Structure formats: structure tokens, C-alpha cells
Amino acid sequence: MKFRPLHDRVLVKRVEEEAKTKGGIIIPDTAKEKPQEGEVVAVGGGAIKDDGGVRALDVKAGDRILFGKWSGTEVTVDGQDLLIMKESDILGIVG
């Protein structure tokens, strides 16, 4: 199934964190927080401006991004757990 977000929405796949700290301590699944970093999978066509025009999004598929802890809506597409969020929920592009 193909999925394309509408307007200023972005489809994001969370980046998995390391299960071990730099010091070698293994973190159990119950103690892990969900990562706030992800990779953009797909983007919508752009935000609709007041004059009816379309403003292109600043992010594109493949960008690594940071987003807020409670941002987005969790969905499952083709067996993958993904997030759909507005571009305004994205804090910045990494790299």
C-alpha cells in the first residue's frame, strides 16, 4: 500500500536507540523512552496559504529530524509503526 500525507503533514519512522549505553550498561525495554528522532518517509503537497496558494514544506523524504515528545499520531502502515505529524511539530533537521 502506498501512503502520501495530505497538505502540511509528514510521515515519520522513529530511529531506534541503542540498547546499551556508552559505558556498556544494557537498558531493558521497560526503561527505554521512545526516541524523539526519526526519518521522514513521505511528505504532503504543502501548506495552504491564506491567499489559496501552496507553500512547499521545508523537509523532504530521507531527512533525519527531531520532534517533540508528544508529537504526532501513531499509525501502522504495511506492518511498520510510523508517526503522522504536522510540519510545525518538527523541531529541526539533523545533519
Could you state, in chain order, the average pLDDT of each consecutive group of 10 residues for the chain (95 residues)?
A: 84 77 66 76 90 90 90 88 92 88
Instruction: Work out whether the CA dihedral 18, 22, 26, 27 comes out positive or negative.
Output: negative
Is residue 54 included in any domain, yes or no?
yes
pTM to 2 decimal places: 0.76
Is residue 46 included in any domain, yes or no?
yes
Model pLDDT, residue 29 = 61
Model pLDDT, residue 30 = 62
For residue 74, the domain's CATH number is 2.30.33.40
Domain with 79 in it: 9-16+26-94
* Total number of domains constituting the chain: 1
Is residue 88 included in any domain, yes or no?
yes
Model pLDDT, residue 28 = 65
Is residue 2 included in any domain, yes or no?
no
Is residue 43 included in any domain, yes or no?
yes
Model pLDDT, residue 95 = 78
Model pLDDT, residue 62 = 92
